[in-house]
Amino acid sequence: MRLCILEADTPAPDLLGIAGTYADMFENWLRPSLPGAEFSRMPVHAGELPESVGDYDGYLITGSLFSAYEDLPWIHNLQAFALRAFNDAIPIGGVCFGHQLIAEALGGHVAPCNQGWAIGKTEYQTTPDGTAWFGQEAIHALSFHRDQIVTLPPGATPLAGNAHCPWAALAYAGRALSVQFHPEFSPEYIAALIRRNPDGTILPEQADLALKDMVHESNDVMSQAFSRLFEVPPAS
């Protein structure tokens, strides 16, 4: 199985030493559940894309400090590519920015959350469909986002959410799976992002609370769910 990680950004130079690139983080997270996969990577934020959606057996879209609704050529091209992959029943997974970009590509809408940032340890309740995907009624995960999906794409199945972010995990007819939170990030990396406060809009008291409750969350459930996306033939 050949999987391509579509890198939508790269960590700041001073953060690379924590866990490497976003593709490194994805591969380290997923490798235990996909031991037979051959991972490739492509910097889509730099304008690169596979020549054809059929070049790989599946795709993964990483997080990014960009927004999925930004009017940038590479974002438009990535949305069109994701739509072609979906229409050709090639499995596609996404995290955070990837979650949002897939939704935009399939007819949803993403915008800044009125309630501001979600950072650090976060709990999400699963729907009945989400319990079937993840095998549990609540997910504890590490989050770092202010944008989120505000209009569901047609055909999306909600899997998990909370009052702040109702659509934190979505599935699409077995062809796509995406989550708003970060199963690929370590607590050290999330903490570094919070301290960096990229645009200065994270409130100090919110940052302090998140940093005090920064614990490692097991990501086995998430890696196993994504492995099933790529191992099970997609629904027609």
Tell me how long the chain is. Answer: 236
CA angle 47, 14, 46 (to 5 degrees): 0
Task: Give tens-digit pLDDT for 63-80.
Answer: 999 999 999 999 999 999
In the prediction, which pLDDT does 232 show? Answer: 55
Q: Is the pLDDT of residue 235 over 60?
A: no
CA angle 181, 202, 162 (to 5 degrees): 35
Window from 5-9, 71-75, 231-235 with minimum mean pLDDT: 231-235
Calculate the average pLDDT of the chain. Answer: 94
In the prediction, which pLDDT does 236 show? Answer: 39
In the predicted model, what is the mean pLDDT of residues 221-231?
A: 93
In the prediction, which pLDDT does 38 show? Answer: 97
Domains and CATH numbers, the chain: 2-231 (3.40.50.880)
In the predicted model, what is the mean pLDDT of residues 18-27?
A: 97
Q: Is the pLDDT of residue 234 over 70?
A: no
Please give the C-alpha separations between residue 69 and each of 77, 103, 202, 223, 231, in angstroms, as whole numbers.
12, 10, 21, 27, 30
pTM beyond 0.85: the answer is: yes
Tokens of 155: 């055909």
Residue 213 banded pLDDT, cuts 50, 70, 90: confident
In the predicted model, what is the mean pLDDT of residues 95-111?
A: 98
In the prediction, which pLDDT does 198 show? Answer: 75
Q: Please answer whether residues 161 and 167 qualify as being in contact, where contact means their C-beta atoms are separated by less than 8 angstroms.
A: yes
Q: Please answer whether residues 151 and 108 qualify as being in contact, where contact means their C-beta atoms are separated by less than 8 angstroms.
A: yes
Q: Please answer whether residues 229 and 221 qualify as being in contact, where contact means their C-beta atoms are separated by less than 8 angstroms.
A: no
Q: Please answer whether residues 151 and 117 qualify as being in contact, where contact means their C-beta atoms are separated by less than 8 angstroms.
A: no
Task: Give tens-digit pLDDT for 32-75.
Answer: 999 999 999 999 999 999 999 999 999 999 999 999 999 999 99
